[in-house]
């Protein structure tokens, strides 16, 4: 079968691999659609995984939908031809972290995946992914394209749940890539009216305006001053950082005020530290938090938002590529010009 093999951001090759053989309790999926995630182009993140595994390349891809084409012995809940989304990571639900609600800190979640990855013609779904609620049957009214967004929207659902984003707040979103725009769409669906977004791309700012942001600001502006102009001289209630740019990480610190929650959905590369005015934050009860990945309850929520059509996601797809043009697809994502979600159609 054909796969897109990742060596680095400038070297993604179409290669051949044997089609996976399934075992007891497993599934084989023919991939129909697979999205490129922003984390797929974080070279430091990918290189660390390669080093850990002792390999020089990876088949990435974890935002996939497809059809069940082989069913292993012992599997009774699925049938040939079922249309599915499959979560690449699953928690064990039993460890200390899962019991405390930190499912994405679970050791099993950090060490599960499908074989070899979503940028392939076929993937093997391990038994553990089936047992731990990792396989979702797409509803009849849900397209493969929509299913691609279950995982990225699930990550967004988790962050907003942790930050308790709700109607009546003023929300500042730093970064209008796919994750920032999904945060915008989810907040709008929850009834949040005052939403301000920033970016350095005019293309993405126009998209944010189209999708319902009340105010869009170029990131080079004095963001706190601009927010106060719009928000009755008050800072935002919640700030979501959706870009790994160090300037945005610092900007979030500068824009916080009494009661503000800062959630780092994206972070700068390792080794970068940020100074925090802890005394000022102590007096104003500012909260700084992070959010990583999605747990099954977050994927469940995302599934329902998409199924109900209350959140439309397909309008975030800007480019489609066959696996044979994997290098071109990654180039589009890395250049981040007039692009949003880029998907493969194997």
The two beta strands, 11-16 and 2-8, are antiparallel
Q: Closest Cα to residue 180, out of 270, 266, 277, 289?
A: 266
| pLDDT per position as a tens digit, 149-183 | 999 999 999 999 999 999 999 999 999 999 999 99
Specify whether the CB–CB gap between 120 and 2 falls below 8 A: yes
Q: How far apart are CA 197 and CA 291, in angstroms?
A: 19
The two beta strands, 2-8 and 122-125, are unpaired
Q: What is the largest CA-CA distance in the chain?
A: 64
| pLDDT per position as a tens digit, 59-86 | 999 999 999 999 999 999 999 999 999 9
Q: The domain 2-149+313-344: what is its CATH number? A: 3.90.180.10
Percent of the chain with pLDDT strictly greater than 70: 100
Q: The domain 156-290: what is its CATH number? A: 3.40.50.720
∠ CA 237-183-273, nearest 5°, is 65
Q: Domain residues of the chain, as ranges?
A: 2-149+313-344, 156-290
pTM: 0.96
Helix (H) or strand (E) holding 97: helix 96-99
Q: Closest Cα to residue 133, out of 145, 125, 141?
A: 125
Backbone torsions φ then ψ of 7, nearest 5 degrees: -105, -45
| pLDDT per position as a tens digit, 79-120 | 999 999 999 999 999 999 999 999 999 999 999 999 999 999
- Please determine, for residue 126, whether its predicted confidence score (pLDDT) is greater than 90: yes
Average pLDDT, the chain: 96
**In this predicted structure, what is the pLDDT of residue 48?**
87
Specify whether the CB–CB gap between 115 and 126 falls below 8 A: yes
**In this predicted structure, what is the pLDDT of residue 44?**
87
Region 231-248: mean pLDDT is 96
Residues 6+ apart with CB under 8 A from 167: 190, 191, 192, 193
Q: How far apart are CA 121 and CA 280, in angstroms?
A: 53
**In this predicted structure, what is the pLDDT of residue 168?**
94
Tell me whether the omega of the peptide bond preceding residue 116 falls within 30 degrees of 0, making it cis.
yes
**In this predicted structure, what is the pLDDT of residue 302?**
98
**In this predicted structure, what is the pLDDT of residue 185?**
98
| Total Cβ atoms within 10 A of residue 127 | 16
Distance from first CA to last CA of the chain, Å, rounded?
10
| Total Cβ atoms within 10 A of residue 140 | 7
Residue 188's Cβ-count burial label (10 Å; 0-12, 13-18, 19+) is middle
């Amino acid at each position: 079968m054909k796969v897109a093999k990742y060596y680095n951001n400038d070297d993604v090759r179409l290669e051949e691999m044997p089609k996976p053989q399934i075992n007891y309790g497993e599934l084989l999926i023919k991939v129909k659609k697979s999205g490129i995630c922003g984390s797929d182009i974080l070279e430091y993140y990918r290189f660390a995984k390669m080093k850990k595994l002792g390999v020089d390349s990876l088949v990435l891809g974890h935002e996939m939908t497809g059809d069940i084409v082989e069913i292993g012995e012992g599997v009774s809940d699925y049938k040939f031809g079922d249309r599915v989304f499959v979560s690449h990571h699953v928690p064990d639900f039993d460890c200390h972290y899962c019991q405390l609600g930190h499912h994405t800190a679970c050791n099993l979640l950090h060490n599960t995946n499908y074989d070899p990855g979503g940028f392939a013609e076929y993937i093997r779904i391990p038994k553990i992914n089936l047992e731990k609620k990792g396989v979702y049957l797409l509803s009849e009214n849900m397209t493969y394209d929509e299913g691609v967004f279950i995982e990225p929207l699930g990550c967004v659902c988790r962050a907003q749940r942790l930050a308790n984003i709700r109607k009546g707040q003023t929300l500042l979103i730093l970064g209008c890539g796919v994750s920032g725009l999904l945060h915008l769409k989810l907040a709008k669906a929850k009834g949040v009216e005052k939403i301000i977004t920033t970016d350095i791309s005019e293309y993405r700012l126009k998209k944010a305006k189209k999708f319902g942001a009340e105010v869009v600001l170029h990131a080079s502006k004095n963001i706190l001053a601009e927010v106060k102009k719009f928000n009755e001289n008050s800072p935002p209630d919640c700030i979501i950082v959706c870009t790994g740019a160090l300037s945005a990480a610092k900007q979030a610190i500068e824009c916080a005020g009494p009661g503000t929650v800062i959630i780092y959905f994206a972070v700068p590369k390792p080794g970068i530290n940020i100074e925090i005015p802890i005394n000022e934050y102590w007096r104003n009860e500012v909260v700084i938090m992070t959010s990583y990945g999605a747990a099954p309850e977050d994927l469940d929520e995302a599934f329902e938002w998409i199924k109900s059509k209350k959140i439309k996601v397909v309008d975030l797809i800007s480019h489609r590529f066959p696996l044979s043009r994997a290098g071109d697809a990654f180039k589009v994502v890395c250049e981040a010009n007039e692009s949003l979600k880029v998907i493969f159609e194997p």
